Amino acid sequence: MPLTDMLVRNAKPKEKLYRLKEDRGLHLEVTPQGGKRWRLRYWINSRENWISLGLYPDISVKDARERRDEARRLIAHGIDPSAVRKAQKAEAAEDANTFERVAREWFTKFKESWTPSHADRTWRRFEKDVFPWLGSKPIKDILAPELLTTIRRIESRGAIETAHRTIQNCGQVFRYAVASGYADRDISSDLRGAIPPSKEKHHASIIDPKQIAPLLRSLDAYQGSFIVGCALRLAPLVFVRPGELRHAEWAEMNFEASEWRIPAAKMKMREQHIVPLSAQSMAIIKELQPLTGNGSYLFPSERTRSRPMSDNTVNAALRRLGYSREEMTGHGFRSMASTLLNELGFNRDWIERQLAHAERDNIRAAYNFAQYLPERRKMMQDWSDYLDRLKIGQ
């Protein structure tokens, strides 16, 4: 029956949501809290759909009927009014230079200069922790308290380091927006001191030779995926960063020279890195080649060979072997090698160059990726031999 303004105004809330129906699909929904909203029920392509027409009393009975009639005219021509509304919102967001639109523009321009893992982590922070609250807002209208509220949601779950990194990433977007004329200033600078400092993070590692021996034997005895088992056995021999290991590609392997050349784009320090491969490392790689050698990655994902294994695969395998996150991590193989190689008396420069660490001393920084390569080649073979001796109890 036709709805009147008096009938709508006097509609009382009930325990559950209910609807007052008018003709041609128009309904008034009354929520248990007393809210009243207009909705249109319609069919298109033989499917039932609902679309909101606004809230009462902002939208009167007369206004709701006019909106219903406009929507039904679109439906009569085979056009879904819901799709039209989404397109209009997207167009408005584009015109408004929202935070998400500017962030996407910034990300597209700079992601090629980052490692794939860094790009993935950065974008996940935006999608998970920023866009749901700030993504649709015009970037020039966002205030520092709004950004702080968003960051404190991250802080509240104990992820202090992630909170700081998110502020840093948002600051990069705001500075890009200022330079591009989308915003007037970088409001992230107002958040200095608003979040507690993060505690220094140490990657758990086993560095006692007596404990390393059973760890190595456990890696050899891993009963899961053969691909993961190869990654576990190779990790302590090459001690690269976990992201560099899982992104290893067959095209980077030089079997004749027994070398793995990691492109600068994959390295944290943006410099090509050479990993001399010991006889033990080559044996693992050659054993793996028949299984994954026809694809790009040495260690592909179980779901698709077009992507590498996930960043948590090695750590999950260590947990399966009984090592907690406080005992050992995939990154911990680097600490293991660094500590013991220094204790074994190898030259510090060889070790640091093989770890691909940033060099703080400007004079010492004047090296290239092949520096100390003959010495490092011998060191890597000696290291693999040393681990073999530990493994058999010598």
pLDDT greater than 80 at residue 365: no
331 is an active site residue: yes
Q: Give residue limits of the domains in the chain.
A: 5-94, 99-191, 209-391
Angstrom distance (rounded) from CA 87 to CA 81? 10
Out of 85, 202, 367, 389, the active site residue is 367
268 is an active site residue: yes
Residue 364's pLDDT band, with cuts at 50, 70 and 90, is very low
Type of residue found at 47: R
Residue 116's pLDDT band, with cuts at 50, 70 and 90, is confident
Look at the pTM and tell me if it is higher than 0.95.
Answer: no
What string of DSSP letters covers 318-341? HHHTT--TTT--TTHHHHHHHHHH
- Of 310 and 369, the one with more pLDDT: 310
Residue 371's pLDDT band, with cuts at 50, 70 and 90, is confident
Helix (H, G, I), strand (E, B) or coil at 87: helix
What residue spans of the chain are helical by DSSP H? 5-9, 61-76, 81-95, 99-110, 116-125, 131-134, 144-156, 160-180, 209-220, 226-238, 242-246, 279-292, 313-320, 332-343, 348-355, 373-391
What string of DSSP letters covers 35-53? -EEEEEEEEETTEEEEEEE
Out of 67, 247, 331, 353, the active site residue is 331
Tell me the per-residue pLDDT of 126-158, one tens digit each, with 9 for 90 and over: 999 999 999 999 999 999 999 999 999 999 988
Helix (H, G, I), strand (E, B) or coil at 371: coil
367 is an active site residue: yes
Angstrom distance (rounded) from CA 149 to CA 145? 6
Angstrom distance (rounded) from CA 220 to CA 31? 62
Angstrom distance (rounded) from CA 191 to CA 348? 40
Q: Which CATH superfamily is domain 5-94 in?
A: Integrase, DNA-binding domain (3.30.160.390)
Contact 27, 45 (CB under 8 A): no
pLDDT for 167 equals 95
Contact 276, 369 (CB under 8 A): no
Poorest-pLDDT segment among 11-15, 265-269, 298-302: 265-269
pLDDT greater than 70 at residue 344: yes
Residue percentage of the chain with pLDDT more than 70: 94
Could you tell me how far CA 150 lies from the centroid of its own chain? 18
Q: Pick the closest to residue 124 from 157, 162, 156 (CA basis).
A: 162
Given 1.10.443.10, 1.25.10.10, 3.40.50.300, 3.40.50.10190, which CATH number is that of 209-391? 1.10.443.10
Are 5-94 and 99-191 the same fold in CATH?
A: no
pLDDT greater than 50 at residue 363: no
Out of 334, 353, 376, 377, the active site residue is 334
pLDDT greater than 90 at residue 197: no
Out of 14, 73, 357, 389, the active site residue is 357
pLDDT for 303 equals 86
Q: Pick the closest to residue 168 from 191, 149, 150, 140 (CA basis).
A: 191
Out of 125, 241, 273, 353, the active site residue is 241
Poorest-pLDDT segment among 49-63, 154-168, 366-380: 366-380
Out of 137, 261, 268, 319, the active site residue is 268
Contacts of 262 (CB under 8 A, 6+ apart): 240, 244, 248, 252, 272, 273, 274, 275
334 is an active site residue: yes
Average pLDDT over residues 288-296: 94
Contact 20, 28 (CB under 8 A): yes
Poorest-pLDDT segment among 113-117, 186-190, 324-328: 113-117
- Residue 215 CB: number of other CB atoms within 10 A? 24
Angstrom distance (rounded) from CA 290 to CA 278? 20
Widest pairwise Cα distance in the chain: 92
Q: Which CATH superfamily is domain 99-191 in?
A: Tyrosine recombinase, N-terminal domain (1.10.150.130)
Contact 30, 17 (CB under 8 A): yes
Angstrom distance (rounded) from CA 103 to CA 135? 9
pLDDT for 266 equals 83
